[in-house]
Structure 1
Amino acid sequence: MCELLTGNQGSVNSIPVPDLYSSHDEADSRITLHCMYASLQPTTERVIVRSPSSGVFLLLLSFSDAISKPLIFDTNSGNNRRQLNITDLAATISKRLRYAIIGLHAFTGYDSTSRFAEKGKLIALKMLQGDQDHPGTFSRIGILEAISGQDMQVIETFVCQLYEKPSHSSVDKVRYDKVRQCFKGKKGILSNSEGVDLSQMPPCQDVLMLHNQRANFQIKIWRASSSNFPDLPKPENNRWRLSSSGGLEIKWFS
C-alpha cells in the first residue's frame, strides 16, 4: 500500500504517499520502508508490526537503527500472543551480529531457499556466536552480487561443523567419511545403498555453491529493504556453467 488512509464519521480518504512507492515484490521487504516512514511522523509514539513471520522479526531487528521510534513486534495469537520490543533487544546485540543473523536465516532455510535436513536454526545460531569468523562472513553475504572465494570457504567449513565434522573443511570429504562409516565392517562397500540415509549428508560442494548463490540473492533483497527502488540483479539473467576444473562458475549479467 502506498496510500495513507484518513477519515472520520465513517468516511475514508486515501492520500498517495510517494515515499512508500517501492519496487519490492513481497510485503516482508516493504515493511521496513513503512516502519521508517511511520517513525518520522510527528504524531507517532511507537511503531507496532503485527506478523507471525520470524523473517519479518529478524529483518526489523537488522534495520532497527533506521527506525527512530520504539519498534514493537506483535506476534502469535490467543494465550501465546506477545509483544517484543525490538528496539530494546537491538541495543543488546551488535550491528554486525544482527546483520549476520539475517544472513544465517536465509542460509539455513527460508521460503525461497533450501534447508539442511534436521539441522535447526538454533544449532546454527549457537555455532555463529561461538566462532569469531562466522559473524563477519554471514554479515557480508548479500552485500555483493557474488560471495567471495574466502567467504565461500568459511561457509563450507561452517557446514562441515553443522554435520559434526569440525576438523573438516570440505563437504565432499564429510560425505565420503559418512558413507564409509555406514559400511564400516561390511564387505562389498558401496555394493548397495542400504544403510545410507542421504538426508543426513551435507550437500556436495557444487550444490552448496548453488545454495550459497540463492541465499545470497535473497539476503541481497533483504539488505535493500530500506531502499524504495533497489538495484538488484535479475534472476532470469543468472548463468552458470561447468569450469575447466569441474566446478561451477556462476555470474550475474545485467
Structure 2
Amino acid sequence: MQQCMSALQELNQEYMQVTYDLAIAKIALQIQATETKSLIGFHAFTGCDFNPAFFNKGKKRPFTLLKKNVEFQQEFATLGEENLIEDQLNEVFNTIQKFTCQLYNAKKSIDVDDGRYQLFVSNYKPSNVNENFTKKIVNFDASSIPPCKSELYQQLRRAHYISIVWKNAYKKQPTTLDPLDYGWIEQEDKFVFKWFEGDQLPTSVSDLISKIPESDSMDDEDESHNAIHDSDYDDE
C-alpha cells in the first residue's frame, strides 16, 4: 500500500512538472524572438534590485509599449552586449528617450527634456501669450513628468552594465567593466547611484536663487543695525 502511495506521489509530481514546463513553453511561443531577447535589458532599465524603477509606472504599461513596438524591442535587446561602443549606446539612448516619453504620455516628443516641457506647459501655460505667469503650482507631482535627459542616461548606463552581468552570469567573471563608468559612484566603500552628471540647475537659474544682490544685503544690515539701536533705547 505504501509503495502504491509513493508511486502515486511521484507520478503526481512528474505530472505537475510537465504541466509547468508546458505552461512555460506556451508563454515562450507567444513571445516573439525579439521580445524574448529584449526582456533582460527591459527589466534592468524599468527597475530591478540594482536600478531604480520609474515611480508609479510598474511593469505592465512599459511592457505593453514594448510589445507593440519592434524598434523598442531591438534597442533593449542590444543592452548587455559588451562590445557595444559609446556611439552605439548613444543611438540606443535616442530610442530609449522615445520609449520614456510614451511611457509618460508625451507621445509627440522624442526627447525627454522636450517631453518634460510639453507636459508642464500643457497644464500651466497661460491662455494668452501676453499674460503673466500667475498660476499657482499647488501639489505638482514631479513624478508625473519623465526624468531629465542627464538622469535618464545614467539609468540606461546602469541597465547596460546590469544586462552584461546577467547575460554572462554563467562565467566566473561576468564582466571586466568598471561600474564607476556605468552610473554608480563610490561612497564609504559602497556603490551608490550616480543620479546625473553636471549641475543640478542651469547656472543662470542657480545664480538667481543663491546670490542675493548687494543692495538687498546692505539694506538688511542697515535694518538689523537700526533694530539693535532701537532695542537699546527701549531698554532704557
Task: Give the TM-score taking structure 1 as reference length.
Answer: 0.56
**Mapped pair 1:218 → 2:162:** yes
Distance apart, 1:85 and its partner CA: 4.0
CA deviations over 1:29-82 (Å, ceiling 9, x no partner): xxxxxxxxxxxxxxxx99x7xxxxxxxxxxxxxxxxxxxxx7958xxxxxxxxx
User: Is 1:71–1:87's contact at 8 Å kept on the other side of the alignment?
Assistant: no
Provide the secondary structure at the position in 2 that maps to 1:148: helix
The AA in structure 2 aligned to 1:165 is: A
1:166 match: 107
Distance apart, 1:232 and its partner CA: 3.3
Distance apart, 1:216 and its partner CA: 1.1
1:183 match: 124
Tell me how large the CA RMSD over aligned residues is.
3.1
Q: Mark the CA change 1:157 to 1:122 in structure 2 (over 3 Å): closer, same or farther.
A: same
Task: Give the TM-score taking structure 2 as reference length.
Answer: 0.60
User: Is 1:160–1:168's contact at 8 Å kept on the other side of the alignment?
Assistant: yes
- Gaps spanning 5+ residues in structure 1: where? 1-44, 49-69, 74-83, 247-254
Q: Mark the CA change 1:241 to 1:182 in structure 2 (over 3 Å): closer, same or farther.
A: closer
Aligned length: 167
1:141 match: 79
1:132 match: 70
1:152 match: 93
Q: Distance in 2 between matches of 1:217 and 1:139?
A: 13
Distance apart, 1:233 and its partner CA: 1.1
Larger radius of gyration: 2
Q: Distance in 1 between matches of 2:171 and 2:32?
A: 22
CA deviations over 1:8-34 (Å, ceiling 9, x no partner): xxxxxxxxxxxxxxxxxxxxxxxxxxx
Q: Distance in 2 between matches of 1:221 and 1:205?
A: 25
Distance apart, 1:93 and its partner CA: 2.6
User: Is 2:34–2:74's contact at 8 Å kept on the other side of the alignment?
Assistant: yes
Pairing of 1:1-254 with structure 2 (within 5 A): 85-144=23-82, 146=86, 148-185=89-126, 188-189=132-133, 193-236=137-180
User: Is 2:42–2:76's contact at 8 Å kept on the other side of the alignment?
Assistant: yes
Q: Mark the CA change 1:241 to 1:162 in structure 2 (over 3 Å): closer, same or farther.
A: closer
Q: Distance in 1 between matches of 2:170 and 2:179?
A: 21
Q: Distance in 2 between matches of 1:191 and 1:233?
A: 49
Which protein has the bigger helix share?
Answer: 2
User: Is 1:183–1:190's contact at 8 Å kept on the other side of the alignment?
Assistant: no
Q: Mark the CA change 1:114 to 1:85 in structure 2 (over 3 Å): closer, same or farther.
A: same
Q: Distance in 2 between matches of 1:210 and 1:135?
A: 20
Q: Mark the CA change 1:195 to 1:214 in structure 2 (over 3 Å): closer, same or farther.
A: same
The AA in structure 2 aligned to 1:203 is: P
Q: Distance in 1 between matches of 2:109 and 2:97?
A: 9
Q: Distance in 2 between matches of 1:178 and 1:189?
A: 16
Higher mean Cα deviation, 185-194 or 221-230?
185-194
- Gaps spanning 5+ residues in structure 2: where? 1-13, 186-195, 203-236
User: Is 1:178–1:201's contact at 8 Å kept on the other side of the alignment?
Assistant: yes
1:31 match: none
Aligned-residue identity in percent = 25
